[in-house]
Amino acid sequence: MSLRDRGYKPYEGAHTPLAGRWTVVLRHTLRMTAKQAWVLSILIISGFPVLVWAALIFFKAYGFVQSTPDLQGSEGVVDPGQYVFLFLAKWYGVPLQAFLMAMFAGGGAIADDSRNNAFQFYFSRPLSREQYLVGKVLAVVLLVAFVSLVPAVLLAIVRIALSHDGADLTRQLWHLPRALALGTLEALVLGVPVVALSSLSKGRGYAQAAFAGLFLLPWVIGDVFVWMFRSPWPALLSVPAQLESVGAVIFSYHFADGDRPLPWPAAVAVMVVMVVSSIALLRARLATAEVVAG
C-alpha cells in the first residue's frame, strides 16, 4: 500500500439525512457569496445607515428632533417607531442597498453554476433539484435580509428600548413583528426574482443588468408618471412603491395628503405574481439542466 493510502478505511458511518441536504447548499452558497468583494462591501457599508437611523430614533424619542419634512405623516410628526417603516420602504432608507445586495449576490447564483457545468457536480449526487433551488434562493434572500430585515429589527429594538413607559412599550413592541413581516417581504421580492433571472443566462452580468433594469426603470419612470398623471397606477411594477404601500398597512402609517400610494391589494397581488412566477421559472429552467453532457 502506498504511503499516500496509509490509514485509508472505507467510510462506514451514518450519512446525513437526505431531506436536509439543502442546508449544505445554503451554507456553502452563503459562504462563497459573502466572500465576493461587492457583497462584502455592501455588508460592511450597510452598517453605517443603521447607526444614523438609530441615532435619529434616539434623538426623536427624546424630543431633540421635532419634525423633519420627509418624515412627517398627515397626522403630524411621525412616531419614531414608524422610522422602521420609513427605513424599510422609502428611497432614503434601505431599498437601494437591498437592491444592490440582491443584484450582486443573486446575479451569479445560478448563472455561475450553469457557465461552469456545476449542475453535473450537484445533480450526480443525492440532491434533488428542489433542494438545490431552496439552498440557492434562501442564500440570496438571507443576504438581502441581512441588509434590510436585520437592521430594521435592530432599529425596532432600539425604539422598544427607548420606551417612555409601559403603555409606550406595549405599543412599540408591535414594531418587531411588523419589521419582521415587511423585512421578509422585501427580501423575498428582491431575492427570488434575481435568482430566477440568473437562471436565464450563463453570464452573471446579463442577469444583473436585467435585474437592474426591472427594478430601477419602473421605480424611476413610475414615480415620474405618478407625479405627471397624479395617479398611483404607473408605479404598479415599482418594487419600492409596492413595499411602501404594503408597509403602510403593516405599520398603520398614514400618508401625507399629497401622496398617492398604490392600493395595497394591487401591490400584494403584483408581489405574489413576481415571486410565484420566479419560482415557476426556476423550476422549469432547472428541470432541463444537463447533468451528463451528450
- Shortest Cβ 137–another protein spacing (Å): 17
Residue 293 touches another protein, criterion: CB under 8 A:
yes
- Shortest Cβ 44–another protein spacing (Å): 19
How many other CB atoms are found less than 10 A from the CB of residue 117? Answer: 13
Q: Using H for helix, E for strand and C for coil, what is the string for 152-167?
A: HHHHHHHHHHCCCCHH
Q: Which of 231, 220, 229, 294 is nearest to 261 (CA)?
A: 231
Amino acid identity, position 77? V
The 93-132 site mask, x for binding another protein (CB under 8 A), equals: -------------------xx--xxxxxxxxxxxxx----
Residue 28 touches another protein, criterion: CB under 8 A:
yes
- 19 vs 228, beta carbon nearer another protein: 19
Residue 76 touches another protein, criterion: CB under 8 A:
no
Residue 40 touches another protein, criterion: CB under 8 A:
no
Measured distance CA(127)–CA(19) in Å, rounded: 9
Compute how many residues bind another protein; rule: CB under 8 A. 39
Q: Which of 145, 155, 146 is nearest to 84 (CA)?
A: 155
Burial-class residue 285 by CB neighbours within 10 Å (0-12, 13-18, 19+). Answer: middle
- 24 vs 200, beta carbon nearer another protein: 24
Residue 288 touches another protein, criterion: CB under 8 A:
no
Residue 35 touches another protein, criterion: CB under 8 A:
yes
Contact present, 129 and 31 (Cβ < 8 Å): no
Residue ranges in contact with another protein by CB under 8 A: 1-2, 4-5, 7-8, 10-11, 13-16, 18, 21, 24-25, 28, 32, 35-36, 112-113, 116-128, 291-294
